[in-house]
Structure 1
């Protein structure tokens, strides 16, 4: 085993499980933290956790990251020096119905991890941000850049993620520990979140139910396969900024795909044509996302490898096995 354990928050989540697996694969010790809430089917979270809990070098702690005293004690007692903070309340539409879930998980939770890092000599805090911080922008040029304006969030979720970035900026300056924020662009793949369009569409298409296509299908997303995301997360973890520096990086595929093209690719993977109901844009949604990944590429050599067709085929194969398991 290599050195001090790495703390991964949201370890029973989609990205968290995959990051923890990759770290374990290379011989790291990992402490996972998750609250196992019921935002979506807890059985999926339990199944993800079960994949990790049988592995050497892994320990899962069931806890709320917003409990700052527990988090501070956990980091201190375990001698954690690196944190990958992925736990958060996700979802744009859910933030319209349950705003205080975002206050606790995203704002109080992030502050809790900052305090735990500050008081325990953490050498690098890597945390999840989101492409949603860019607001609703036209799809043009070479993608969204990290130095583009991020002052017009169109959802509470986006506002909390931008707030986390600002908190991290202040803590890096005040207390000197390096931090890296990761602006994820539409992550998909096996063990994914059932509230994401590709996942819920799969369930409905196979059942023969109609899918609701928002924005009349004119939206586009920078769909990024989970293995490519994990490549970026681990590479950033291995490349901390200088003392007192906070950096943000886009992690995306950098090849935006129209929603109707994604649906067509999914239909091919499933071998079933979807019944479609066209709907207007939903409050909080953005028209397009498009990552400029040149900053991350310059730091780590990051380059996505998995095209949407191959990624959705792998997801569908996993989904069939999971559903029938």
Structure 2
């Protein structure tokens, strides 16, 4: 149960705060109510009393509808109906509340209708339409007109409530999907870090017995790499420029270990550097290329990193040479991980395309603009 003080605070907050889309829709509804009678009275050759009979009730109806939906119906829906389990009892309560609100609206609209009707010299009790087959009589007595007005307001409020509930449900669903997608991408990113750390420690371990100074330099490079990575760990996407800074630190680390066996060629177009892609995309591709293509070979190999705009989007490509002494085939975990992150973040507008030739292995990531 909501405490009265908290209820007043929440109600007041909802009265003052709403999205721009909500205000736009409310303004459109008000204009839709006012424009037709204003056009008729402006361009129609009607007596002044009839103009009042059209415009004054229309203004009163627009004001009452706004107050009813914004001051009462929207806060009630937001506090007790939206994002909650909706059973039959809740729906019946909503219908009863809307019916009571419709009665109140009609009662409050009487002062707007009263002055307008005083100017008319005559009142109508009924309208009779004679056709060839039958006679149709429409009752316009006060009791019947009030009943029709209540039903009309009830229908308007009920439709407004359904549309509001549907819009909030769609908004909540999209927000939940986004949160799940981001959580999954963070999980996949964290899965990469231990894999990379394992490879880096193996490199340092191999260097300790060969050159202690270089091993110390490897540790320094590793600490710099992780300092940069930790400063961006909460982000699921990064620009290509940020990805290159991370990959470059890793390559500096591997260059100490591989020395001249690693021949690097980088060709990243300037207009691609601001493009966004899932975090650790480039590092994943570079790490796989060195681990399965360059490092196992006695003579090392060439690693090429390219990025270009083309067609409707842009692409990032990592190519490594393949020679004798190749290690066992990769399990494909890195590329599968990358595919899943691209699918979560970009859906069908991104693709990972591996291609293998006699002396080269290439992986291209294609992204829409």
Q: TM-score range by the shorter chain?
A: under 0.3
TM-score normalised by L of structure 2: 0.21
Higher relative contact order (Cα pairs below 8 Å, separated by 6+ residues): 1
